[in-house]
Amino acid sequence: MSVPTILVVEDDSAVRQGVVDALTFAGYEVLSASDGRAGREAALSARYDLLLLDLILPHFTGFDILEALQESRAGQAVIILSAKGEENDRIKGLKMGADDYVMKPFSARELLARVDAVLRRTTERQALSGKYEVAGRVIDISGSEIVYEGARHELSEREIGVLKYLIANPGRPVPRDELLRHVWGIDPNRIETRTVDMHVAHIRKKLGDHSQEILETVRGRGYRLAHTS
């Protein structure tokens, strides 16, 4: 799995360097720009997964960059870096498509938590449709089916939800409680249910996964789907 790339557009050199250092230390690839002109150019032409965007910039403002993104890169993940007292600007930025904001001054820990959350949501959005191949099976999200050895097995809405979430979180075991929250919208602290296990069993049957090597149970940690392509 490729390492996410993050573009930082911030004119305050101390803040920019602090953010770049924190992201680099956390293992991300980082690009940066120090003003609105360079930031706009990078935001529209560079390859990156998430934009950290100051709103008050020389030449082009953060709003100018958000407006340009709406036209050419709709859906691009953005976190606004906002100074205290800019509440109206934050609200405007969110309405223009930003995913979140972090208020200055912020800690590296808070910033990294927000970055992780937005990247995870973005990955989920990207896994809304398409076909994915795993161990010779084709998971057709758009067609709501699994195709295996010439047979087609229809998927229910919840089964699709489970598969989409697992595809969106490659390589890591996803706990039952997390699936309940994100797929069913249920607070696992308020209810006891075996519905996740039942749906996983149905998916395995449709995958022909008798040995549980495609949709693996990682003891004490959750479910993990084998690598998809």
Residue 60 sits in a domain whose CATH number is 3.40.50.2300
Would the pLDDT of 21 be above 90?
Answer: yes
Least confident interval from 16-25, 31-40, 80-89: 80-89
CA 223 from chain centre, in angstroms, equals 18
Q: According to the per-residue pLDDT averaged within each range, which of 53-62, 85-94, 125-134, 155-164 is highest?
A: 53-62
Q: Which of 126, 150, 174 is the last residue of a domain?
A: 126
Would the pLDDT of 64 be above 90?
Answer: yes
CA pair distance 99, 76, nearest whole angstrom: 9
Would the pLDDT of 14 be above 90?
Answer: yes
The predicted structure's pLDDT at residue 110: 92
The predicted structure's pLDDT at residue 128: 56
The predicted structure's pLDDT at residue 95: 84
Which tokens sit at 202?
């149905």
- Do 74 and 162 lie in a common domain? no
Integer-rounded Cα Rg, in Å, for the chain is: 20
Which tokens sit at 146?
């699994």
- Do 148 and 48 lie in a common domain? no
Q: Which of 126, 146, 165 is the last residue of a domain?
A: 126
The predicted structure's pLDDT at residue 31: 97
CA pair distance 26, 37, nearest whole angstrom: 28
Tens-digit pLDDT profile for residues 79-107: 999 886 677 888 888 888 888 899 999 99
CA pair distance 74, 184, nearest whole angstrom: 28
Residue 70: give the domain boundaries: 5-126
Tens-digit pLDDT profile for residues 107-153: 999 999 999 888 877 766 555 567 889 999 999 988 889 999 889 99
Tell me the β-bridge partners of 79.
52, 100
pLDDT classification of 158: cutoffs 50, 70, 90: confident
- Do 75 and 161 lie in a common domain? no
Q: Which residue has the higher pLDDT, 127 or 227?
A: 227
Total domains in the chain come to 2
Tell me the β-bridge partners of 83.
104
Least confident interval from 45-54, 148-157, 161-170, 196-205: 161-170
pTM over 0.85: no
In a 3-state reduction of DSSP, which class is residue 51?
strand
Q: Which residue has the higher pLDDT, 43 or 141?
A: 43
